[in-house]
Amino acid sequence: MMQGTENMGSMTSVAIEAETVETDSRETGESRVLQLQDQDEVRDYVTIGAPFVDNAKMAARNVNVHYGEKHAIMDVSLDIGKNEVIAMIGPSGCGKSTFLRTLNRMNDIIAGCRVDGEITLDGEDVYGRQQDTVMLRARVGMVFQKPNPFPKSIYENVAYGPRIHGLAHNKAELDEIVESSLRRASLFDEVKDNLDKPGTGLSGGQQQRLCIARAIAVSPEVILMDEPCSALDPIATARIEELIDELKEKYTIAIVTHSMQQAARVSQRTAYFHLGKLIEVGGTKDIFTRPRHQLTENYITGRFG
């Protein structure tokens, strides 16, 4: 069933200023606030837009995720291009975090979670029997919603990964990795005199940059970020967004965000998820100004209640 194309909406030019639109729609009354549909109604939708790219760093094919009986991701196929920033958006509970976690097998540690389908990194099966998950998570690093530094010093937070992966041969090399990672995360100048102080003593925004430094210290190829700025103020958010822009020169980044402004600012491609389905993918500007699917349009214009 090709419901995707039947659901093309009117091509209103919307939403880099989506929050304004959202406020307006609330003010104009209840009637514009739609309810999410039944999951069975979206089950057979075919993703519209351009889920595949020529230079995929990671590729997901027909991925399904269940938590027990709950079907959280339904037949999702999507490429993540090399050195791109791809934003994943959609209503709460649509499976953004679940999908992100499939990419570095963080779902493995959730009891009752089952992943089917294929995910590759440079063409290599992420779920293959040979795959070493510790190695995989160094290649595909993750930054979470809530900054979660280890209860150790700032230095040790960053040095831990390189040490367990044997990336430094001596203390001088390790010092160098710690410093360059903190510099790339734009944190070094603020902490250079306090490297032995606990990471947990930093401000929220600094802690999140510390977590980014920790992730990049092991030279990952892909960085997954799950709402990395949701606990931060606008200034700290702006710092992280600048950082994402710099990091994309070297890394591939997939970021989940509830802020459409953030998606518009940092990403080149955007994927819209809805009730476990990948509804639409495309260039970020196109998704926000010319959404093709009615559900995408409803979301970016703030019409879901």
Ligand X SMILES: Nc1ncnc2c1ncn2[C@@H]1O[C@H](COP(=O)(O)OP(=O)(O)OP(=O)(O)O)[C@@H](O)[C@H]1O
Helix spans in the chain (H): 3-6, 18-27, 39-42, 96-102, 133-139, 154-164, 171-184, 188-191, 204-216, 234-247, 260-266, 284-289, 294-300
Decide if 214 contacts 142 (C-beta within 8 A): no
Stretch touching ligand X by CB under 6 A, among 91-99, 121-129, 206-214, 215-223:
91-99
Give yes or no for residue 270 binding ligand X (CB under 6 A). no
Nearer CB in complex with ligand X: 72/232: 72
Among 23, 55, 70, 242, binds ligand X (CB under 6 A): 70
Rg for the chain, CA atoms, rounded? 20
Stretch touching ligand X by CB under 6 A, among 92-100, 152-160, 231-239, 288-296:
92-100
Nearest to 64 by CA among 129, 109, 128, 113: 113
**Distant-in-sequence, close-in-space partners of 185: CB < 8 Å, separation ≥ 6:** 209, 210, 212, 213, 216, 243
Nearer CB in complex with ligand X: 7/98: 98
Nearer CB in complex with ligand X: 95/147: 95
Stretch touching ligand X by CB under 6 A, among 55-63, 85-93, 130-138, 208-216:
85-93
**Distant-in-sequence, close-in-space partners of 67: CB < 8 Å, separation ≥ 6:** 110, 112, 113, 114
Q: How many helices (H) and strands (E) does the chain have?
A: 13, 11
Site for Mg ion in 207-246 (CB under 5 A): none
Among 24, 46, 93, 197, binds ligand X (CB under 6 A): 93
Choose the contact partner of 94 out of Mg ion, ligand X, none; CB within 5 to 8 A by kind: ligand X
Helix spans in 59-153 (H): 96-102, 133-139
Among 7, 97, 206, 270, binds Mg ion (CB under 5 A): 97
Nearer CB in complex with Mg ion: 210/225: 225
The token pair that represents 175 in the structure block: 């010092």
Among 52, 67, 127, 150, binds ligand X (CB under 6 A): 67
Stretch touching ligand X by CB under 6 A, among 32-40, 96-104, 122-130, 195-203:
96-104
- Rounded Cα distance, 119 and 222, in Å: 14
Closest distance between ligand X and the C-beta of residue 73, in Å?
8
DSSP label at residue 34: B
Nearer CB in complex with ligand X: 74/213: 74
Decide if 191 contacts 154 (C-beta within 8 A): yes
Nearest to 6 by CA among 279, 300, 303, 305: 279
Give yes or no for residue 160 binding ligand X (CB under 6 A). no
Stretch touching ligand X by CB under 6 A, among 90-98, 149-157, 190-198, 204-212:
90-98
Give yes or no for residue 110 binding ligand X (CB under 6 A). yes
Nearer CB in complex with Mg ion: 97/259: 97
Among 13, 92, 130, 170, binds ligand X (CB under 6 A): 92
Choose the contact partner of 13 out of Mg ion, ligand X, none; CB within 5 to 8 A by kind: none
- Rounded Cα distance, 199 and 211, in Å: 9
- Contacts with ligand X by CB under 6 A lie at 67, 70, 72, 90, 92-98, 110
